[in-house]
Amino acid sequence: MNNIIFIGMPAAGKSTIGVVAAKRLGYEFIDTDILIQKREKRLLKDIIDEKGIGGFLAIEDQINSEVEAENAVIAPGGSVIYCDNAMRHYKEIGTVVYLQTSFQTISERIGDPKKRGVVLQNGQTLQDLYNERRVFFEKFADVIICEDGKTLEDTIEEVVEKFKR
């Protein structure tokens, strides 16, 4: 299937780049964080507060592994890389693109990670999370697009050029 699945840290631009790239490619855009919030009828941070990280990841895994799409840009949350079923599903239905961004850029963009519903263990810093997830992003990526030193438009253009028919 011709889907593009963006993975990367929170604030890497998965949704922002995804919306514009989908529009320029004539694809549908799916933000799975919104699907989760819609199904659960509450914000991500509230789900994490109420169900804990494990409970949230179980919901994230289920919803992401159920995404059925063709010719879509899919932007899952950054923690989807901990979800075996979801990642197996995404590898089967499309090309997984890691939007690689430096820690400095992420830390400047993100604001308060807890308010964004970022899955952080107790005592875990954003730097710890970045270091941990980077290994998973590289493992699952079919394509890596480095955003460092590029404008948003440059990154979008790189995605569009890579995937236009």
Q: What local confidence, expressed as pLDDT, does residue 152 receive? A: 92
Question: DSSP string of 23-89?
Answer: HHHT-EEEEHHHHHHHHHTS-HHHHHHHHHHHHHHHHHHHHHHT---SSEEEE--GGGGG-HHHHHH
Q: What local confidence, expressed as pLDDT, does residue 89 receive? A: 98
CATH number of the domain encompassing residue 88: 3.40.50.300
5 sits in which H/E element: strand 3-7
Contact between 96 and 139 (Cβ < 8 Å): no
What SS3 state is found at 91?
Answer: helix
Contact between 110 and 158 (Cβ < 8 Å): no
Percentage of the chain modeled with pLDDT above 70: 97
Tokens of 43: 């914000």
Q: How many residues does the chain have?
A: 165
Q: Is the pLDDT of residue 144 over 70?
A: yes
Give tens-digit pLDDT for 93-113.
999 999 999 999 998 888 777
Q: Is the pLDDT of residue 4 over 90?
A: yes
Q: Is the pLDDT of residue 115 over 70?
A: no
- What does the mean pLDDT of the chain come to? 93
Q: What local confidence, expressed as pLDDT, does residue 60 receive? A: 97
Structural domain range at position 17:
3-163
Which residues face 153 on adjacent strands? none
- How many domains does the chain fold into? 1
pTM for the model stands at 0.92
